Amino acid sequence: MNFLAHFQLAWPEEELVVGALEGDYLKGPLKGHLPKGIELGVKLHRAIDAFTDQHPKMAELRAQFPLELRRYSGILIDLSFDHYLSKHWHNYSTLPLDAFNATIYRNLESHKHHLGPGARRMLLRMQQHDLLSVYGQWDSIAATAARIGERFQRENPFLQVAQHLDPVRPQLELSFLNFYPELIEFCGLKKHQWN
């Protein structure tokens, strides 16, 4: 999952949302240096990623990608799932997407003193480019993937990714619609266990 899904799954607990962002940047064991709710948000982020990566439906979906992209297909699936969450937002929230995004930005801003440098930089970029809203545009997936690929030490595998995404687009949407309710249920159980 990418940012929009992580935030929606952590919502409405503010500290879980902060941990959902920090979870992309904080590595290693949690040592109690952050407020408990933020650490639980990091823990939830990691649980979501593990559940998603290990799910049989995701293995089936990764197999739909060309061999040369299969290694990186998880990134493309995460980005496309944020697109489909945005597209089908009304099925998962009573709060309009633009209001949700504004609330998330405010929440993260008010807790940014708990964020590490990487998460703070990402928050600034999110706010400047309204990244949570951009995911609603299909073309943003290829553009975002290309920017991610620039960080790789090897050649950017995402330079021509749009031509590989379009053929699997219907399968991506169907997989999202089938998988996301399971993920919501999984997160609900995790939150209940940790309370």
Q: Does the bond joining 167 to the residue before it have cis omega, within 30 degrees of 0?
A: no
pLDDT band at residue 27 using 50, 70 and 90 as cut-offs: very high
> What whole-number distance in Å separates Cα of residue 76 and Cα of residue 54?
16
Whether residue 121 contacts residue 52, with contact meaning beta carbons closer than 8 Å, is answered with no
| pLDDT higher than 90, residue 183 | yes
Q: What is the pLDDT of residue 28?
A: 94
What's the pLDDT tens digit per position in 76-110? 999 999 999 999 999 999 999 999 999 999 999 99
Give residue-wise pLDDT tens across range 28-75: 999 999 999 999 999 999 999 999 999 999 999 999 998 989 999 999
Output the pLDDT for position 181. Answer: 98
Cα–Cα distance measured from residue 114 to residue 35, given in angstroms and rounded to the nearest whole number: 8
Looking at residues 185-189, what average pLDDT do you find?
A: 98
> pLDDT, tens digit, for every residue of 113-171?
999 999 999 999 999 999 999 999 999 999 999 999 998 888 898 988 988 899 999 99
Residue carrying the six token digits 């949690």: 30
Mean pLDDT confidence for 11-21: 98
The pLDDT of residue 160 is 86
**180 burial type by CB count under 10 A (0-12 exposed, 13-18 middle, 19+ buried):** buried
Instruction: Name the strand (E) or helix (H) holding 103.
Output: helix 97-110
